Amino acid sequence: MTTLTLPRAGLPTAGPRGRGHVRAVVLVVVLVATLAALAAVHLTQGTAAVDASDLLRLLLGQGTDASALVVIDSRWPRLAAALSVGVALGAGGCVLQGLARNPLASPDTLAVEAGAHLALVVAALLPFTLPLLGGVGVAFVGGVAAAGLLLGLTRGAGSPLRLVLAGTVLALAMSSLTSALMILHTQETRGLFAWGAGSLNQRGLDGIVQVLPAIVAGVVVALLLSRNLDLLALGEDVARGLGVRVGASRLALAATAVLLTAASVTIAGPIGFVGLCAPALAGLAARAVPPLPRHVWRIPVSALTGVLIVLAADVGLRLLFGPLDGVEVPTGVVTTVFGGVFLAVAAHRLSLGGPTPEEAVRIGLAWGRRHPAVLICGVAALVAGAGATALLLGDSTLLFGDVGNWLSGQASRRVTFILDARAPRVASALLAGAALALAGALVQGVTRNALADPGILGVSAGAGLGAVLTLLVVPSASWLAVSGGAAAGAFAAAVVLFALTMRGGLHETRVVLVGIGLAAAAGAITSAVLVRSDPWNQAKAITWLGGSTYGAEWEHLVPLLVVLVIAVVVLRATHADLDLLQVDEATPHLLGVRPARARLVALGLAVLLTAAATASIGVLAFVGLVGPHAARLFVGRRHRWLLPLSALLGGLLVVVADTVGRTVLAPNQLPAGLVTALVGAPYFLWLLSRVRTR
């Protein structure tokens, strides 16, 4: 079983008490002094000439009216937002890590930020306007719902990696739903895209003043319950024996962490990974500062570290892009990139004791395992039926006779026009779904985890970044150019992934953690690029990122078909190696199979398939999770049957999703990737409620 070792909460056991507290005080003073210096630099950044001497005169009451107006009306609200968000996320992340006894727990990995973000976007569609403090309540409800759902389905336990995987996929589902709402309600959600990437831009201090009581209350409650948090870290039985009301304490601490996160999201949107990195960085100082493992010290130090991260990110943005462009780029982009790098570095510092524990589902379909060939033929017939139905449905409904006439070249001009556009879309959906599901089966086989998905490798996010950069540089780029950019981005992400994970062996846990960090960083950079693009290209790119078959043509399918053929040829010869990887580390060696080489081949194919599918149709969520896992329920773990059934189920899912997206809201259309997310999310939640670790 894999063990992940990072600094986490506990009680100090050694060190002179007086000297330790002196070190803690010195650390706090150093952090405050650093923050004061950063804040001074932050206030001097802007288009107006306000330097340090102007700030000093302003503090002494000698500043000019012009300098006072610039600082008070423009720069101070942004600084106040950075301070508030940093404190809220740093303290909230610290509480979550201590409560879950998991060094990878945070508002991001527990889907709290995604839930709060979704709730606020839904609130923006209401016919009335909520006050900002009312927004905190809405975000709080969304965050509580997301965290409660995740922790309830995972039973609040499990390995750190499993919790990260579950939270990441749940956050993906909520983000997909958020994107769907923004596409369907463009006018009502205008301006929310930049905010959704984590922006510190403010319209004065009024909003922050309204939210500030929630942040102060959250920090105070967290400090008051800090002793309970220390004792809970020793185990529930020990805490209960020392007089702690475990249930009430857990509930109060969880509500406090979610409240802090909700307040942060209300002010600035989701600022990624601050709640993960700040407590982890504070934990690194625990050995040198003996009192720091106690939460009465760790919470304020984490809060100060959170402010340091947010402020440094915002200062760095304006130093890099200039005072004007630096304001437009969301600060959350930098913190998310930093968080992705942090996860990649942390993956090399973890103690990896063995392979990732396999996730098993408590149900099985014995008939399919006894007759896999019959089952596969039946699913193939379903795919054919779904494809035929997809040709008939859309903004205009056709008949089977129309399709027959089209195939024989005798159809009317109207029918020919419709089917010439519709047929390549159906074929594109089928091939892309098959490729992604096949990639998912390979990733799940290599990681031995049913919650794994090609998206966690960062390849899909890299492809999305490459495509968006192409659209930004060449607004009128052809399909071939966009696909080429997507493929280049996917392979660049794969190169980075393998470069960071090959050292020390291609370990499954390290691949997953680095992949999650890479995907987050690529997604954040994509958001920054979109924020700086014009509204037309922004809408076009968001639709493409949602996974759309719109505009597909027959020649577009050739590269994807070639990749699928290559994958089939390679897997026909190597599928038995994947079966051996499911057993243990020793068995493949005994039978002449090198596990590292087999994993590299499988992951390389997964990357190739994901890159080709994403370049063809855009980013599709959950196909690589749902297809192979459903296939495993039917035919078990033998890859001879698992791989073809996964491909068929993946193609079926995307064809149905594309048909629904073209039909339900006709003449409007919803990208197939967003529909697969809406279909895959309930399946994932059901799956998560039933998996157990063997």
Q: Which two tokens stand for residue 610?
A: 């994901």
Q: Are residues 310 and 383 in the same domain?
A: no
Average pLDDT over residues 600-628: 84
Our CA dihedral for 582, 587, 591, 593, rounded to 10 degrees, sits at: 60
694 pLDDT higher than 50 = no
Average pLDDT over residues 573-585: 73
Q: Are residues 561 and 623 in the same domain?
A: yes
Residue 267 CA to residue 409 CA, distance in Å, equals: 60
Q: Domain boundary at 290, 314, 338, which? A: 314
CB contact at 8 A, 263 and 152: no
pLDDT, greater one: 564 or 185: 564
pLDDT for res 33: 92
Does 47 map to a domain? no
**CA 685 to chain CA mean position, Å:** 16
pLDDT band at 508 (very low <50, low <70, confident <90, very high): low
What is the chain's mean pLDDT, rounded? 78
CB contact at 8 A, 651 and 437: yes
Among 277-286, 328-337, 340-349, 432-441, which is the least confidently predicted range?
340-349
pLDDT band at 15 (very low <50, low <70, confident <90, very high): very low
pLDDT for res 361: 46
pLDDT band at 256 (very low <50, low <70, confident <90, very high): very high
pLDDT band at 650 (very low <50, low <70, confident <90, very high): very high
Average pLDDT over residues 437-464: 80
Q: Are residues 635 and 489 in the same domain?
A: yes
471 pLDDT higher than 70 = yes
CB proximity list for 692: less than 8 A, separation 6 or greater? 359, 360, 361, 362
pLDDT, greater one: 629 or 252: 252
Residue 615 CA to residue 625 CA, distance in Å, equals: 19
Does 359 map to a domain? no
Does 334 map to a domain? no
pLDDT for res 325: 65
pTM, rounded to two decimals: 0.77
544 pLDDT higher than 60 = yes
CB contact at 8 A, 327 and 201: yes
Does 9 map to a domain? no
Q: Are residues 300 and 375 in the same domain?
A: no
Average pLDDT over residues 364-388: 79
Does 44 map to a domain? no
pLDDT band at 145 (very low <50, low <70, confident <90, very high): confident
Q: Are residues 419 and 297 in the same domain?
A: no
pLDDT, greater one: 57 or 126: 126
pLDDT for res 648: 94
361: which strand partners? 691
308 pLDDT higher than 90 = yes
Question: What DSSP letter does each residue of 50-61 carry, written as one string?
Answer: --HHHHHHHHTT
**pLDDT, tens digit, for every residue of 361-371?**
444 455 556 77
Does 62 map to a domain? no
* Best CA proximity match to 509, nearest among 585, 597, 446: 446
pLDDT band at 626 (very low <50, low <70, confident <90, very high): confident
pLDDT band at 357 (very low <50, low <70, confident <90, very high): very low
pLDDT for res 56: 66
pLDDT band at 67 (very low <50, low <70, confident <90, very high): low
pLDDT for res 11: 46
Among 174-183, 229-238, 425-434, which is the least confidently predicted range?
174-183
389 pLDDT higher than 60 = yes
Average pLDDT over residues 611-639: 83
- Read off the DSSP letter of residue 9: -
pLDDT for res 548: 75
Does 219 map to a domain? yes
pLDDT, greater one: 589 or 261: 261
CB contact at 8 A, 8 and 97: yes
pLDDT, greater one: 14 or 609: 609
pLDDT band at 568 (very low <50, low <70, confident <90, very high): very high
Q: Are residues 374 and 295 in the same domain?
A: no
pLDDT, greater one: 568 or 407: 568
CB proximity list for 220: less than 8 A, separation 6 or greater? none
Among 139-153, 291-305, 506-520, which is the least confidently predicted range?
506-520
Q: Are residues 563 and 444 in the same domain?
A: yes
CB contact at 8 A, 688 and 416: no
Which of 175-189, 336-350, 414-428, 440-454 shows the highest mean pLDDT? 414-428
Q: Are residues 489 and 574 in the same domain?
A: yes
* Best CA proximity match to 270, nearest among 545, 523, 622: 523
Does 611 map to a domain? yes
Residue 559's identity, in one-letter code, is P
Q: Are residues 403 and 552 in the same domain?
A: yes
CATH number at 494 reads: 1.10.3470.10
2 pLDDT higher than 60 = no
Residue showing tokens 């759902």: 149
pLDDT band at 400 (very low <50, low <70, confident <90, very high): confident
CB proximity list for 83: less than 8 A, separation 6 or greater? 39, 307, 311
CB contact at 8 A, 650 and 443: no
22 pLDDT higher than 90 = no
pLDDT band at 4 (very low <50, low <70, confident <90, very high): very low
Q: Are residues 651 and 507 in the same domain?
A: yes
Q: Are residues 372 and 288 in the same domain?
A: no
pLDDT, greater one: 47 or 318: 318
Q: Are residues 290 and 371 in the same domain?
A: no
Do the strands 691-693 and 359-361 form a parallel or antiparallel pair, or are they unpaired? antiparallel
State what percent of residues in the chain have pLDDT above 90. 13
pLDDT band at 693 (very low <50, low <70, confident <90, very high): very low
97 pLDDT higher than 90 = no
Domain count, the chain: 2
Range of the domain at 602: 365-693
CB contact at 8 A, 525 and 333: yes
Among 125-129, 388-392, 557-561, which is the least confidently predicted range?
125-129
pLDDT band at 89 (very low <50, low <70, confident <90, very high): very high
Q: Domain boundary at 272, 297, 314, which? A: 314
Average pLDDT over residues 145-153: 78
pLDDT for res 354: 47
Which of 12-16, 341-345, 365-369, 541-545 shows the highest mean pLDDT? 341-345
